[in-house]
Structure 1
């Protein structure tokens, strides 16, 4: 069975991200067509990129990079849960993506964004990065608003309609994950 990681998108103290990622995970785990697990980038303590060689060579010098690469390599697909910071993704997510390359290749990705404009600008930037990492990304995405889906901008309370958009994204992601496996 294919394994899909729900990847957090920030390491910020007091982040809303973990609540959103857990909501995605809990809903995804109700499915029987893939295995879903949480991968929290905060657990890896990745400093600002400190590898001397380009990621594509896979000549990692640091233990934190090797641990990150081993973790990401075991998955067939990813759901990135990203906040929108300044019309883009967080620096910590970009940093985590940049650490490795080959481990992402020929896999599938879906997106859950949140912010004042539903996280759409962050997801658009993330789509460009995913393309460069050879991640095939699905069309459907989840768009959560800080104004309507978070009480006091901090307590995650998603509107019911988001369950439908999450299901639609997963319905695309799971078969794409299986299809991309044939390329590896």
Structure 2
């Protein structure tokens, strides 16, 4: 094992006009400032995933599409996940749901959190994501970052388009709490996975 857990920061929207890059870059900065984790930005745009069309989840049968296999190999590299969550009609993006479905064993027994955004702070989308994560045997942590209400409209291009740093005093405590949780659970679960693999 490496000294610190490796955490993926996953951009979950693929639209040309997405807002996701702004919160992703801010969250990346928070994660890079820490010494207790290693972070990699993972953008769903880079994986060209087809709509799920396998015989079954890779928990039951190997995937046949090389794009799905490449995605699974990437996800397998990480000890935990922070998703950049857009709220589309009270839920997560179709791109994120498809990406979750394209893997299974690679998500299991790893923690997840999020930086979510929307008029309601992406809260409804994140609740859906947490439910999906439980089914995929991830460990959703309580802490998360929500950009909502007047803060969201202050930084969104269709609002004030200000830099996120102008509202970060509202976000920093939640970011620290969420990342503390992710690191704690990543350390615990990777130690358990390592011990289990060693025993096998």
**TM-score under structure 1 normalisation?**
0.94
Q: Is 1:57 aligned to 2:63, yes or no?
A: no
Q: Distance in 2 between matches of 1:96 and 1:151?
A: 27
Q: Name the stretch that deviates more: 11-20 or 28-37.
A: 11-20
The answer for the alignment partner of 2:24 in structure 1 is 21
Structure 1: runs of 5 or more not aligned: none
Match of 1:34 in 2: 37
SS of equivalent residue, structure 2 residue 192 = coil
State the 4+ residue runs in structure 1 displaced beyond 3 angstroms: 153-156
How far residue 58 of structure 1 moved from its aligned partner, in angstroms, is 4.7
Q: Which moved more, 1:108-117 or 1:155-164?
A: 155-164
Query: Would you say 1:168 and 2:181 are equivalent positions?
Result: no
When structure 1 is superposed on structure 2, of 73-82 and 164-173 the one drifting more is 164-173
Aligned partner of 1:136 in structure 2 is 139
More displaced, 118-127 or 58-67? 58-67
- Count of residues in correspondence between the two structures: 184
Q: What is the root-mean-square deviation in Å for CA atoms of aligned residues?
A: 1.5
Quickly say closer, same or farther: Cα 1:154–1:42, change in 2 above 3 A: farther
- Structure 2 distance, partners of 1:100, 1:89, is 17
Superposed counterparts of 1:84-163, under 5 Å: 84-145=87-148, 146-153=152-159, 155=161, 157-158=163-164, 159=167, 160-163=169-172
Q: CA deviation digits over 1:1-40, x for unaligned, max 9? A: 2100001111111111122112111111000001011010
Distance in 1 of aligned mates of 2:97 and 2:129: 9
Alpha-carbon contact 1:58-1:100 (below 8 Å) kept:
no
Inter-partner Cα distance in structure 2 for 1:154 and 1:47: 36
How far off is 1:56 after superposition?
1.2
Q: Relative to 1, partners in 2 of residues 1:182 and 1:116: Cα closer, same or farther, differing over 3 Å? A: same
Cα distance in 1 for residues equivalent to 2:129 and 2:186:
18
- What residue ranges of structure 2 are gaps of 5+ in the alignment? 194-200
Matched position secondary structure for 1:110: strand
Which residue of 190, 194, 199 corresponds with 1:181? 190
Deviates more, 1:75-84 or 1:158-167: 158-167
